[in-house]
Amino acid sequence: MKKIKINFKGFWDNFDPENNYFINILRKSYDVEISDEPDYLFYSIFSDEYINYDNAVRIFFTGEAQSPDFNLCDYAIGFDYIDFGDRYFRYPLYMIYGRVPETAAVRNGMIENTVIKDKFCSFVYSNSKAFSERTEIFEKLSKYKKVDSGGRYLNNVGGPVPDKRAFESGYKFSIAFENSVYSGYTSEKILEAFAAGTVPIYLGDPDISRVFNDKAFINVRNFASIDEVVEEVKRLDGDDESYLEMLSQPIFREGYDIDSKRCEFEKFLIGIFEGDKDKAFRRNRTFRGGNYELFFKRYCNINMRLRKMKDLFRKK
């Protein structure tokens, strides 16, 4: 079995380099070593350390609304609907949660025995800095019936809830607005609402209907205003037959196959490591490309030093 040396930089706080979605795929085909001198580097957006790994093939992954810079990475995994040869694969964050098929099964398997829930609508957010429509729909729906807020933002249930999915499962509707409106950017929010057996009220990805079934949720983009959305929620809330019809819909659009997407992604990822390392590089490391990277590296290293200085002053 071929041995490969890899590492991970800039991922979220509880990310485990030894046990994660990517390394578990690679271990099916390779003898994988986590190395301080990697031949291949996975990196994400939470630090700029990757820029100092000049001799590593760089693989960018984002779980946020941020496009890859192909001048700095060889390959990228993200949300954007783009075609860039063998260098890019669209694979949203929710795909690595390992629970998408489970989500569909839970939602579609519970309908026959569904008892209409007593609780109206949930809202679970900690970020207060997203676009104003998120607060607007909370306030306007709250004038109709109480919307229970279980996050830190606008909390009205006595404090943040420990388990979002368990909390949302008691409600007919869940507000599932993204932090950003960005083509292709569909986070875990709508999946969590589906998994909880609720009808999501969604605003975010303008192209969400390329993956998800518009009949399975309330797509705010299909309405002229938040007021119209509120009226649609009221209608469904008062019409059990229409509500259950929406709840019974498959969450993915017809023809969208999760298992196929997983297989395609594994093929993409495994393919990066199949040949010699030197043949895996894709970014331009000479002349204009090299100058671009050198300039960016200087900026990143200055920025990292400034952050360390700020941290020292905070500790004092």
CATH number where 113 lies: 3.40.50.11660
Is 16 contained in some domain?
yes
Domain final residue pick, 213, 247, 281: 247
- 3-state DSSP call for residue 94? helix
With a cut of 60, say whether residue 124 has pLDDT above it: yes
Is the domain of 105 the same as that of 234? yes
With a cut of 60, say whether residue 109 has pLDDT above it: no
Q: How far apart are CA 253 and CA 208, in angstroms?
A: 10
To the nearest 10°, report the CA torsion of 34, 38, 42, 48: 110
Task: From 255, 250, 238, 258, select the one nearest 214 (Cα to Cα).
Answer: 250
* pLDDT confidence tier of residue 308, bands split at 50, 70 and 90: confident
Higher pLDDT, residue 282 or 102: 282
Sign of CA dihedral 175, 177, 179, 184: positive
Percent helix, strand and coil across the chain, each rounded to 5? 40, 15, 45
Is 252 contained in some domain?
no
Is the domain of 77 the same as that of 102? no
Q: How far apart are CA 290 and CA 34, in angstroms?
A: 27
Q: How far apart are CA 138 and CA 230, in angstroms?
A: 10
Question: Can you tell me which residue has the tokens 């986590």?
Answer: 34
Task: From 233, 137, 142, 205, select the one nearest 191 (Cα to Cα).
Answer: 205
Q: How far apart are CA 31 and CA 58, in angstroms?
A: 19
Is the domain of 145 the same as that of 243? yes
Provide the pLDDT for residue 112.
53
Is the domain of 278 the same as that of 154? no
Most confident of the following: 117-121, 233-237, 297-301, 309-313: 233-237
Q: How far apart are CA 196 and CA 186, in angstroms?
A: 17
Give the pairing type, strands 3-9 and 199-203.
unpaired
- 3-state DSSP call for residue 274? coil
The tens digit of pLDDT for each residue in 59-105 reads 999 999 999 999 999 999 999 999 999 999 999 998 988 666 666 65
Provide the pLDDT for residue 99.
67
* pLDDT confidence tier of residue 280, bands split at 50, 70 and 90: very high
Is the domain of 199 the same as that of 106? yes
With a cut of 70, say whether residue 305 has pLDDT above it: yes
Task: From 292, 226, 248, select the one nearest 108 (Cα to Cα).
Answer: 248
Share of the chain above pLDDT 90, in %: 76
Is the domain of 67 the same as that of 120? no
Is the domain of 59 the same as that of 113? no
Is 242 contained in some domain?
yes
Provide the pLDDT for residue 35.
98
Cα–chain-centroid distance for residue 287? 35
Q: How many domains does the chain have?
A: 2
Domain final residue pick, 210, 226, 247: 247
Is 253 contained in some domain?
no
Q: How far apart are CA 222 and CA 175, in angstroms?
A: 15
pLDDT (mean) for 133-150: 96
Task: From 190, 172, 148, 147, select the one nearest 244 (Cα to Cα).
Answer: 172
The tens digit of pLDDT for each residue in 177-218 reads 999 899 999 998 999 999 889 999 999 999 999 999 999 999
* pLDDT confidence tier of residue 307, bands split at 50, 70 and 90: confident
Domain final residue pick, 220, 247, 274: 247
Cβ(245)–Cβ(216) below 8 Å:
no
* pLDDT confidence tier of residue 303, bands split at 50, 70 and 90: confident
With a cut of 80, say whether residue 149 has pLDDT above it: yes
Is 232 contained in some domain?
yes
Is 254 contained in some domain?
no
Residues of the domain holding 195: 98-247
Instruction: Tell me which amino acid residue 48 is.
Output: D
Higher pLDDT, residue 33 or 111: 33
* pLDDT confidence tier of residue 170, bands split at 50, 70 and 90: very high
Is the domain of 107 the same as that of 182? yes
Is the domain of 80 the same as that of 104? no
Task: From 219, 283, 264, 207, select the one nearest 246 (Cα to Cα).
Answer: 219
Instruction: Tell me which amino acid residue 227 is.
Output: D
Sheet with strand 218-219: strands edge to edge: 147-149, 119-123, 171-177, 199-203, 218-219
Is 71 contained in some domain?
yes
Cβ(103)–Cβ(122) below 8 Å:
no
Is the domain of 113 the same as that of 200? yes
Is 202 contained in some domain?
yes
Determine the length of the chain: 316
Is the domain of 163 the same as that of 278? no
CATH number where 59 lies: 3.40.50.11650
Question: Can you tell me which residue has the tokens 């000479």?
Answer: 286
Is the domain of 232 the same as that of 198? yes
With a cut of 60, say whether residue 48 has pLDDT above it: yes
